[in-house]
A and B are shown apart, each in its own frame.
Chain A
């Protein structure tokens, strides 16, 4: 005869206790997000009670530390976009090209070499890139410009942008590599069997299929470039400068956040609070980019029924 043990109360108790612990742990990520949002939001609101939101978003004078200080963040935004643009102009073509070579052309042995090397590039701390930008690349840009008869500032936006671009290459290449390899082989075979060359197959079939993933990777890269701090703190300027010339010095949102929080200002002065207003903009913009990017990658995964990316 079979004997079924009745439900063990103590054991059940323990199980549900552990399960509740697991649930609590998993909510921590949500607490963190809201923690970031609120810790920035409250201070930012305080700032906007002192200074106009409209002028903050559209004004072109950023003059903290004065009696009649003005907080028009336009030159800061423009510097951020200029450096980000340079970074993406380097990282997207080079990263995507590297990904295509690794996933489509390279032999297995070669891949085994190339992939860890790009991982090394990805593992280098940002402060190291910052040092590289400030000590090596910026003087190089100045020298090259001089030989071309151009004047470049030692804090030129180009150097920060270039180094930030190098920094982001592995982000784009590793995501794109995964995505290109996730495109079903049947599509490549079909194209080759129609008499297409390998390169034509990649350009006309593989890349269009991988496009949502590549766009998603690029959005993540954009988000990363906008929020990158160390490279610009160490290599870009402090002076808000509204200009189109990448050889001039420019400042960015993150530089200004660091600058206003590291100085000796009173915590409730508008100078310090402006950091949180800038932080709020950065948070909202990167949040939208991240979510958009996640949605695109999710759609790609559903299309090809992948659950490993």
Chain B
């Protein structure tokens, strides 16, 4: 063996350093993998969903005739029959009934194209016949086929006709459901947290409650659906598929999240604040109400927004209580049948037509957009109100 060049030379160490680097690279690989999953996933959704924000329209000349009043297909040239949306045809008689002056006139409009034409233009799988394809190509060359921003996606509700399907009823349903959820879960969660942090003495009962809350946070969400089905629907007789039952079920699920974060927020308020309050002769309730809660409020709010985002993405329990019904019109009360955005994603994902894939991905983009802004807001509030005690 070569003699040591200096007292700190250690040939054994080189091997150990190599192993150390290996280990470090292994962990780097792991986090790299997690992050690339995220990017692969997001890219995949955007690539799949982005086309849905545009929809094909075809320039047509409508002939408002008495015949087209009973058979809307007569309003256009016969060759357009397969390439214009059935939904668009269906709306014609209604239009003429509302505005009788249209009779025996002509109009040039952009009509909603059939989903097969839309998919063909976007380069996806389609089942257009060669004849229809040549027609579309021909019209496109003339500039009579264009892709426009798909406003229908936001102004229309679910439909069995893919090009006519939109998110509106699901968005309304989500708002109604989450309203119920937050109205219940926020006050109850904060009250529980206040009780456990400020009033409860550490006895078996309190520990039991604590274990319960932590356990509830980890119970599979589908079981909350079984609870909703058995208690809210079968026992209390509340209307199935309604925003009310959905909101109640989600409230029970969101409660633990709000409690845990509210407790953390309350715990971060130093005891000196409470002592100061008592020193001024305030009662416990006054101290909590006037001093501790306002200081803890940003933290509680942050936790509640995260809880809200969580509830917003939840699907499984809502399937069990029937919130995956086909809802062609937006609900306007809490007891009407409703659906929510993730449930709409679920139903669209199960549809056989190719056009629904991009709809699903687009709905996912909308949902993720909302959720990310919620989370962003929570992070912003956390940073803005971060106080170092």
Contact = CB atoms under 8 A, between A and B. Distances in A.
A–B: direct contact at CB < 8 Å: yes
Interface of A: 11, 14-15, 18-19, 21-23, 25-30, 32-33, 35-36, 39-40, 42-43, 93-98, 100-102, 104-106, 114, 116-121, 123-128, 130-132, 134-136, 166, 169-170, 173, 197-200, 202-203, 220, 223-224, 226-230, 233-234, 254, 257-258, 261-262, 267, 275-276, 279, 282-283, 286-287, 290-291, 293-294, 307-308
B19 A26 contact: no
Interface of B: 16-17, 19-24, 26-31, 33-35, 37-38, 41, 44-45, 48, 187-188, 191-192, 194-196, 199-200, 208-209, 211-216, 218-224, 226-227, 229-231, 234, 252, 255-256, 259, 264, 267, 283-285, 309-310, 312-316, 319-320, 324, 342-343, 345-346, 349-350, 357, 360-361, 364, 367-368, 371-372, 375, 379
A109 B24 CA distance: 18
Contacts of B283: 11, 15
A26 B200 contact: yes
B349 A227 contact: no
B24 A97 contact: no
Contact of B375 (A94, A106, A119): A119
A199 B315 contact: no
A78 B19 CA distance: 39
B216 A33 contact: yes
Contact of B209 (A26, A116, A119, A223): A26
Contacts of B360: 131, 135
A294 B195 contact: no
Contact of B230 (A15, A39, A283): A39
Contact of B212 (A29, A43, A131, A234): A29
Given A123-B309, A126-B313, A198-B20, A94 B216 contact: no
A105 B32 CA distance: 13
Interface residues of chain A: helix, strand, loop or mixed (majority): helix
Contact of A197 (B20, B37, B38, B230): B20
A28 B192 contact: yes
Contact of A223 (B16, B29, B218): B218
Nearest to A104: B27
Contacts of B219: 33, 36, 227, 283, 286-287, 290
Contacts of A267: 234
Contacts of A132: 41, 44-45
A203 B209 CA distance: 37
Given A102-B31, A124-B368, A125-B315, A35 B227 contact: yes
B188 A28 contact: yes
A131 B364 contact: yes
A105 B285 CA distance: 46
Contacts of B256: 29
Given A105-B27, A282-B223, A35 B200 contact: no
Given A28-B192, A32-B252, 13 more contacts: A15-B284, A22-B192, A25-B195, A26-B192, A26-B209, A114-B35, A125-B371, A127-B345, A131-B360, A135-B360, A170-B34, A220-B218, A294-B214
A267 B235 CA distance: 13
Nearest to B39: A117
Contacts of B316: 126, 229-230, 233, 254, 258
